């Protein structure tokens, strides 16, 4: 096999992704402190099946096995996240050496297998003490992210080239603080806008900290951008507002140093201080796009969703109108939506390389192959359609450098617990035995063909 390929744009790299809280388990091992997700899971009714992050996939104890699974998949890169509460159990102060040691083993294990490590510093597991001090709505949390980023980059900066600061800050801010369906489960729209701003500030400060430790680092941010399509007469205003919150906040601040004018909360000088936007502007070397589905927004009327409206504070009553076919999440399957978001982002963020950092589908296990493994033809079709869409956009000139499948393993799907399965590999409940699905074998064939 050839050596590791580069994220230099000369070819489309393939990868697989996971996130710490969703796979690791071991939530009290080696000095890890509690995160907001540990706390949120303890809230009655917060998680559909009443589960939590232990044992998840037990990956903390099964690191070698999981890295071998990625190697055997034959992809180029592995995207994972670093658990802040393992590195800084209190969310501030000195590092917990065992936490850094663990992620060093992850990175070294990837490099030994010729895999590119793509770490994300923050995939939602805020140390609980920081939430107790106010969480993302408080400005100090941004400074704390930078302090944590410096600790990680000091240790790993000589081996990691491409970093991302945040995963899907829209979820952290608006599902966490407005709709309350993610940790920490608060419901206050104004507070959510404050969280959004401080997440962006945290990104900017963390990027600076990573570059201070590793001057050649490429530091990006991972956004769940979505095409927002008005569906029918009278739908434009709602769609434009959703677009502003879902896409405009992040790209506006990062690229133009401006928030969408329609979002009054982000025009408050007590929140967005002089110089903040200048600090945020231009701090992303690349943009990661997590794409699953487009949003079709209908005119306000019957069948609106209160929860969805809460996730876009200040929006008119919203109706999301997904069509068929849909995944088990109820998300419409539209590969053309990925083309749309790639082209739109390339236009909005000229000159920035794009990586599809997540794309995948939840389906029930369905049929089994004769050897007992999951025969997930629907997931294969989803993967095939979206990878083809990515390649089409590359051929059309979009600088998209990677396609990273979500996700390696069936895992803890946040408020859905273990009821939704996105994995290329099944994780048998109880034994935690890994059983590759047909989609894993299919993706391995694609990866092998891409390397020939």
Contacting residues toward ligand IFM, per CB under 6 A:
19, 22, 168, 290, 358, 406, 413, 422
Nearer to ligand IFM, 19 or 95 (CB): 19
CB of 288 to ligand IFM, least distance (A): 11
DSSP notation for 70-108: HHHHT-SEEEEE--HHHH-TTSSSS--HHHHHHHHHHHH
Closest separation in Å from C-beta 115 to ligand IFM: 20
SS3 breakdown of the chain: % helix, strand, coil, rounded to 5?
Answer: 40, 15, 45
Residues 67, 81: Cα–Cα separation, whole Å: 14
Nearer to ligand IFM, 259 or 406 (CB): 406
C-beta of 27 vs 96, nearer to ligand IFM: 27
In whole angstroms, the minimum distance from the beta carbon of 350 to ligand IFM comes to 26
Nearest approach in angstroms of CB 422 to ligand IFM is 6
Distance of closest approach, residue 195 Cβ to ligand IFM, in angstroms: 17
The string of DSSP letters for 260-322 reads: -TT-GGGG-TTTS-TTHHHHHTT--SEEEEE----EEEEPS-TT--HHHHHTSTTPPP-EE--
39-52: b (≥16 Cβ within 10 Å) or e: bbbeeeebbeeebb
Among candidate residues 24, 168, 413, 426, the one labeled active-site is 168
How many C-beta atoms surround the C-beta of residue 369 within 10 A? 12
Q: Angle at CA 167, nearest 5°, toward 165 and 173?
A: 105
Tally Cβ neighbours within 10 Å of residue 425. 24
- DSSP code per residue over 132-143: HTT-TTSTHHHH
- Supply the minimum distance, in Å, between the C-beta of residue 413 and ligand IFM: 5
Is residue 104 annotated as part of the catalytic site, yes or no? no
User: Which residues are 49's β-sheet partners?
Assistant: none
The helices-and-strands tally (H runs, E runs) of the chain is 17, 13
Which of residues 19 and 192 has its CB atom nearest to ligand IFM in the complex?
Answer: 19
Backbone phi, then psi, for 152, in 5-degree steps?
-70, -45
Question: Which residue is at the shortest CB distance from ligand IFM?
Answer: 19
Q: 166 by DSSP, 3-state: which?
A: strand
CB of 420 to ligand IFM, least distance (A): 7
Please, which residue, 19 or 47, has the CB nearer to ligand IFM?
19
The whole-angstrom separation of Cα 5 and Cα 71 is 14
Beta bridge partners, 297, equal 230, 320
Choice between 157 and 180, CB closer to ligand IFM: 180
Nearest to 153 by CA among 210, 78, 229: 210
Which CB atom, from 176 or from 230, has the smaller least distance to ligand IFM? Answer: 176
Active-site residue among 339, 358, 413, 426? 358
Choice between 128 and 357, CB closer to ligand IFM? 357
Among 287, 265, 266, 286, CA closest to 276: 266
Cβ 329 to ligand IFM shortest distance, Å = 7
Residue with tokens 């231009």: 282
Would you call 358 a catalytic residue per the annotation?
yes
Q: Is 351 exposed, middle or buried (0-12, 13-18, 19+ CB in 10 A)?
A: exposed
Q: What amino acid positions are annotated as catalytic residues?
A: 168, 358
């Amino acid at each position: 096999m050839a050596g590791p390929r580069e994220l230099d744009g000369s070819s489309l790299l393939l990868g697989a992704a996971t996130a710490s809280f969703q796979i690791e388990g071991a939530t009290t091992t080696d000095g890890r402190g509690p995160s907001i997700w540990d706390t949120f899971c303890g809230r009655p009714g917060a998680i559909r099946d009443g589960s939590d992050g232990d044992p998840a996939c037990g990956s903390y104890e099964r690191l070698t096995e999981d890295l071998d699974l990625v190697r055997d998949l034959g992809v180029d890169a592995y995207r994972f996240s670093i658990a802040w509460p393992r590195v800084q159990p209190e969310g501030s102060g000195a590092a917990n050496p065992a936490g850094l040691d663990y992620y060093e083993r992850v990175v070294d294990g990837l490099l030994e297998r010729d895999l590119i490590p793509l770490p994300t510093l923050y995939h939602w597991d805020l140390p609980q003490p920081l939430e107790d001090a106010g969480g993302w709505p408080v400005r100090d949390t941004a400074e704390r992210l930078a302090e944590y980023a410096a600790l990680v980059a000091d240790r790993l900066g000589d081996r990691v080239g491409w970093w991302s600061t945040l995963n899907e800050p829209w979820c952290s801010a608006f599902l966490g603080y407005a709709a309350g369906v993610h940790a920490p489960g608060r419901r206050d729209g104004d507070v959510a806008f404050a969280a959004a701003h401080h997440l962006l500030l945290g990104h900017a400060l963390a990027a600076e900290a990573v570059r201070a430790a590793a001057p050649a680092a490429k530091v990006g941010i991972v956004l769940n951008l979505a095409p927002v399509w008005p569906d029918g007469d009278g739908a434009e205003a709602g769609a434009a507002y959703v677009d502003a919150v879902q896409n405009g906040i992040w790209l506006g601040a990062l690229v133009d140093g401006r928030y969408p004018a329609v979002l009054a909360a982000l025009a408050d000088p007590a929140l967005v201080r002089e110089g903040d936007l200048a600090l945020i502007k231009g701090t992303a070397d690349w943009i990661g796009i997590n794409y699953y589905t487009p949003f079709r927004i209908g005119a306000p009327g019957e069948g609106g969703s209160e929860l969805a409206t809460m996730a876009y504070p200040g929006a008119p009553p919203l109706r999301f109108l997904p069509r068929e076919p849909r995944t088990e999440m109820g998300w419409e399957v539209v590969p053309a939506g990925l083309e749309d978001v790639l082209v739109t982002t390339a236009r909005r963020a000229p000159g920035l390389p794009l990586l599809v950092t997540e794309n995948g589908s939840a389906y029930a296990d369905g049929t089994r192959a004769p050897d007992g493994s999951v025969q997930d033809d629907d997931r294969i079709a989803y993967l095939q359609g979206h990878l083809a869409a990515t390649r089409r956009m590359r051929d059309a000139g979009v600088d998209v450098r990677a396609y990273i499948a979500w996700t390696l393993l069936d895992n803890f799907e946040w408020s859905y617990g273990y009821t939704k399965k996105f994995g290329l590999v099944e994780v048998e409940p109880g034994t935690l035995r890994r059983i590759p699905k047909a989609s894993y074998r299919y993706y391995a064939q694609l990866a092998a063909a891409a390397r020939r």
